[in-house]
Structure 1
Amino acid sequence: MSGTGDIRVLVVDDHPLYREGLVGAISTMPGKRVVGEAGDGAEAVRLAAELTPDVVVMDLHMPELNGVDATRAISSAQPEVAVLVLTMLEGDESVFAAVRAGAKGYLLKGADRAEIARALDAVAHGEVVFSSSIAQRVLAFFAGGRPGTSAEPFPELTEREREVLDLVARGLTNAEIARRLFVSDKTVRNHVSNVFAKLHVTGRAEAVARARDAGLGSGPRPA
C-alpha cells in the first residue's frame, strides 16, 4: 500500500453513472483512495500497469475486453494487485471463471457500502472474500461438488453445443466450425441457433461475451 497507508483503488465499470457513484462511495471510506477509473477491460489493464493500485474493483460484462480476461491479464502481470469483482452476474459460470482468472473477491452489485469497504480491506491484505450466497456455492464446489449443477459452464447446453460456443468465442465462422467438426454448415447453424436461444442472447457478439465471461474461448484460435 501507499506510504499514507491508504488502500489505492482502481474502479472499472462500463456504466458511467454506476462507476461515478462507486468512485464517490469509495472516496468517502476511511483509508481508501481512488487512484483511477476505467470504462472497459483494456483500459483497466493499461491503468493497472500505470497506476499500480492495491485493488482493482472489476465489473465483468464490458466492451473491448471483458472482466474475466482483464482480471487474468492483471493477475498474471501484477500478482501483487488484488482484483475484487463487483458485478450483477451471479451464475456459477461467471463466479468460477473469475476465480480461475485470479480474482480474490466476488461481490454482487447489491452489496452495501459497509460490505464493499470490508471486502476492499480483506483483499488488500491478501484475504479472499465472497458475497454470502456466492461463498456457499464456492464452499460446496471445493467440498466435492456443486449440488444440482454441472461442473461445466452453461449446463443447459449439450456437450456439442458447448463445443460450438467455445469455437465461436475463439473467432471461428460457421463454415470454419463445420470443417473442424466434420459436419455440415446447416448443422452448425442449427447448433448456434440453439445456443442463442438457450442463453437468451440476440447475436454472436453477445454470445461471445457470455462465453468468455464463463472461461470459454480462452485458447488460441485454431488453425
Structure 2
Amino acid sequence: MSSEKRELTIVIFENNEAYRQSLEMYFQEFPGIRVVGSFADGADVENRVSESNPALILMDIDMPVMNGIDATTKIKTVFPEQLILILTVFEENEKVFDAIKAGADGYLLKSTPPHEIVQAMFDTVAGGSPMTPVIARKIIQVFARGTTVRATQITNELTEKEKQVLQSLVEGSSYKMIALQLSISLDTVRFHIRNIYTKLHVNSATEAVALAIRNRLV
C-alpha cells in the first residue's frame, strides 16, 4: 500500500439536480475528493455502487424509483462495509430512525454548510458518525430510554484525556476540532475514540455521546 494520502472517492444520490450539481462543483475545489458517481434516483443501486466502488456515499432520502432509506438497506445488505452518509431535508423522527436502522453511518440536514459536509465526510471515513445537532438530540433521546450502566465504574475506566475527548464529542466537535482544542494529532484523537468505544461498549460516536449524557460521565 502506498504511503500517499488516499483520495476520498464519493457517490452522490440526490434527486434535486441543482443541489446535486452544486455539491459536485464545491467538491471540485478539494483535490482530495473525487466524485465517481452522481445519480438522481435510487435505480439499480447495487450495480451503480459496485461499478463506482466509492469510499463514501452521500444519500438523499426523497428520490424516485427507490427512496434513500430503502437504497441504504439494499446497499448495506450487499456491501455491509460501505459507508453511507444521509443528506436530506427530513428531520422527522420516523425518517431519522428508519435511516439509522437501515445502516446509515451519519445523518446531516441539507441546511448544513458545505464545508461542514466535507468535514463530516472525512469524519465518517475516519470512523465517526456525524449528525446535525438537532438529529443527534433525537437519537440521544432514544438511547436515553435504553439500559443504564454503572456510571462510576465507567468513569473510573476512562483516562483524563479520554474524558476530555468524550466531552468534546458531547459538545459536537469534529475530530479535527478536538485535535485543535486538545493540541493533539488526528491519529491520537482516533486512538482515544477507539479506546472510548471499547470501554463504553459502543460502536459509534452517537452511542458514546448518548451514554455520556445519560450517565453524566462528563
Superposition TM-score tier, normalisation by shorter sequence: 0.5 to 0.7
Q: 1:109 aligned to 2:110?
A: yes
* Cα distance per residue 1:69-101 (max 9 Å; x no partner): 000111111122110000001101000000000
- Structure-2 residue corresponding to 1:197: none
- Give the CA RMSD over aligned residues: 1.9
1:137-216 superposed matches below 5 A = 137-144=138-145
Between the two proteins, the alignment pairs up a number of residues equal to 145
Contact map agreement 1:29 1:117 (CA 8 A) in 2: no
The residue aligned with 2:79 is: 78
Percent of aligned positions with the same letter in both sequences? 37
Partner SS state of residue 89, structure 1: coil
Corresponding position of 2:16: 15
Helix, strand or coil for the counterpart of 2:43? helix
| Corresponding letter in the other structure for 1:35 | V
Aligned counterpart, 1:187 = none
Distance in 2 (alpha carbons) for counterparts of 1:26 and 1:119: 13
Q: TM-score, normalised by structure 2?
A: 0.63
What is the match of residue 93 of structure 1? 94
Provide the residue aligned with 2:126 in structure 1.
Answer: 125
TM-score, with length taken from structure 1: 0.61
Counterpart AA for 2:47: R
Deviations 1:4-28 (A, max 9, x none): 5111000111121111111111222
1:103, distance to aligned residue in structure 2 (A):
0.3
Q: Does the aligned pair in 2 maintain the 1:13–1:19 contact within 8 Å?
A: yes
Larger Rg: 1
SS in 2 for 1:19: helix
User: Do the aligned residues in 2 keep the contact of 1:54 with 1:80 (CA within 8 Å)?
Assistant: no
Unaligned runs of 5+ in 2: 147-218
* Alignment correspondent of 1:62: 63
Letter matched to residue 59 of structure 2: M
Runs of 5+ consecutive residues of structure 1 not aligned to the other structure: 146-223
Cα deviations by residue, 1:155-178 (Å, 9 ceiling, x for unpaired)? xxxxxxxxxxxxxxxxxxxxxxxx
TM-superposed CA distance for 1:39, in Å, is 1.0
Shift in Å, 1:125: 2.1
The corresponding residue for 2:151 is: none
Once residues 43 and 77 of structure 1 are traced to their aligned partners in structure 2, the CA distance between those partners, rounded to angstroms, is 12
The answer to whether the 8 Å contact 2:108/2:132 transfers is yes
The answer on 1:45 being equivalent to 2:46 is yes
User: 3-state DSSP class of the match of 2:22?
Assistant: helix
